Amino acid sequence: MAAQQRKQALFEAIAVMGKAFSSPRRLELLDLLAQAPRGVEELASASGQSTANTSQHLQALHAAGMLTRRRQGTRVVYAIGGEDALRLWLTLRDASLARLGEVERAARDYLGEGVETIDRGELLERLGRGDVVLVDVRPEEEFAAGHIEGARSIPLEELEQRLPELPAGQEVVAYCRGPFCAYAHEAVRRLSDAGRSARRLETGWPEWRLAEASEPKPA
Amino acid sequence: MAAQQRKQALFEAIAVMGKAFSSPRRLELLDLLAQAPRGVEELASASGQSTANTSQHLQALHAAGMLTRRRQGTRVVYAIGGEDALRLWLTLRDASLARLGEVERAARDYLGEGVETIDRGELLERLGRGDVVLVDVRPEEEFAAGHIEGARSIPLEELEQRLPELPAGQEVVAYCRGPFCAYAHEAVRRLSDAGRSARRLETGWPEWRLAEASEPKPA
DNA sequence: CAACTTATCAAGTATTCGCTTGAATAACAA
DNA sequence: TTGTTATTCAAGCGAATACTTGATAAGTTG
């Protein structure tokens, strides 16, 4: 029956997007691009793979509709395709954490011991009262590409030297790329070691951005 | 660096779930299971592939955390893993429709000409007023496994014979498995041909169920 | 237990995928 | 134009995947 073939063609078309998520390398690139647009070479070195291979994966993600691409002089800058593309990636990531024990195990292995967290609601409230310092510990370019309003940028590497910048009396909240990113975990550990009271925002910038988009703050 | 390896292990673990969505066959099975739990052989014949192959795909989906499995006598009944598994599939499907022209084209090819639709909000309102007949045109077992409250089951095949059951004065709303399912489209066409005023609910049972879960009706 | 149904496993094969290497292309600058 | 940088293309190879066929296992029924 021809209808059967058309139905299969439909599923094949959808699977093109599904394939985008079937490779760990591609997921890593997607995760990086969820923070900020980047060129091919930057992505290659950030993810530790060859340029050619990175380019191929980026093209696959682009063909799957997950990325946009624009030329900027001699560079080609890739960016995540849009809000729904970002949401899809985060949904997959969260679902895998919830349903696959192996993901949880791998996350614990990578992130080390858990540190105390604070959620979006409480952070907003504390920011309103002004009794908390919010620190973005991602690399500076990612901060520049977008960050939580009211945060200050202190990349993890500079944290120790720049400790004096943080007002002593206040609790520090650190955030980074997301729940699977090691920066904020590490930052909180170092702050605690330095005798500061610190917590980690339980999500990261992409999640915050999506939350803002779905419930714009009543200005 | 060991941290780099642990990070890769994390992405590999997530990609296990991603791989579930990389095969058209698996997506078709997932789509069927979004309607109702089923045994391997039913799924095999519904999707037109061999039993052994179906079993393998189901195991892959199960390993990816997307399905639950239980033995029932000599049969093994698979079901979708839970609400977030369902949401993930629908999110992927909708994102692919929004971002890949090929999906839209394939959908148009399969579904034929568009028919007039009605959305959830309007349907709820009309149901409240009682001036609309809601018809579930999926196979009876799927209706039995769950349906919109207030709907009556008239599988597409029986539609013509059972036309007299539908009160003549009222508009008919048909729904089926979802926006990519041909049943409701076809039902509306046949009803129109029979001189009835009919529309298609723009989504299907799984979407309705999720919408209900996220905003439970104020009883 | 034997016969039967349903599902899974195992082995084989064709295809696709992921990565590498080296060449080709595009944009720009001198 | 020529040289430089950033990216993509093309070919090749080993590994993984999808599907088939036939055997095996689990559960039920007579």
pLDDT at B219: 46
Residues having Cβ less than 7 A from any atom in strand C: A 19, 22-23, 25, 49-50, 52-53, 56-57, 60, 71, 73-74; B 39-41, 51-52, 55-56, 58-59, 69, 74-77
Q: Give how far Cα A7 sits from Cα of A55, A212, B23, B106, B178, Å.
A: 32, 37, 14, 8, 13
- Nearest nt to the A74 alpha carbon by C1': C27
Q: Give how far Cα B219 sits from Cα of A171, B55, B83, B211, B216, Å.
A: 43, 42, 22, 15, 8
Cβ–Cβ < 8 Å for A206, A84: no
pLDDT at A2: 80
pLDDT at B1: 59
CB contact under 8 Å between B100 and A16, yes or no, is yes
pLDDT < 50 regions, chain A = 219
Has residue B215 got a pLDDT over 70? yes
CA of A4 vs chain B CAs: smallest distance (Å): 9
Q: Give how far Cα B139 sits from Cα of B45, B154, B175, B196, Å.
A: 14, 8, 12, 22
Instruction: Please give the biggest Cα pair distance in chain B.
Output: 73
Retrieve residue A102's tokens: 């192996």
Distance measured from the CA of protein residue A208 to the C1' of nucleotide D15, in angstroms: 39
| Chain A residues with CB-CB distance to B19 below 8 A | 21-22
Radius of gyration of chain B (CA): 19
pLDDT digits (tens, 9 = 90+) for A24-58: 999 999 999 999 999 999 999 999 999 999 999 99
pLDDT digits (tens, 9 = 90+) for B115-124: 999 999 999 9
The CA distance from A19 to A1, in Å, is 27
For chain D, which bases have at least one atom within 7 A of a protein Cβ? 4-10, 17-23, 26-29
CB contact under 8 Å between B10 and A107, yes or no, is yes
CB contact under 8 Å between A21 and B22, yes or no, is yes
CB contact under 8 Å between A22 and B15, yes or no, is yes
The answer to whether the C-beta of A52 is closer than 7 A to strand D is yes
The answer to whether the C-beta of A182 is closer than 7 A to strand D is no
Retrieve residue A144's tokens: 């520049």
Q: How far apart are the first and last CA of chain A?
A: 57
Q: What pLDDT band is residue B217 in, cutting at 50, 70 and 90?
A: low
CA of A10 vs chain B CAs: smallest distance (Å): 5
Give me the residues of A, 61-90, that contact B with CB < 8 A: 64-66, 81-82, 84-85, 87-88
Chain B residue with Cα closest to A46: B4
pLDDT at A116: 97
Q: Which of A216, A197, A215 is nearest to A131 (CA)?
A: A197
The three-class DSSP label of residue A117 is strand
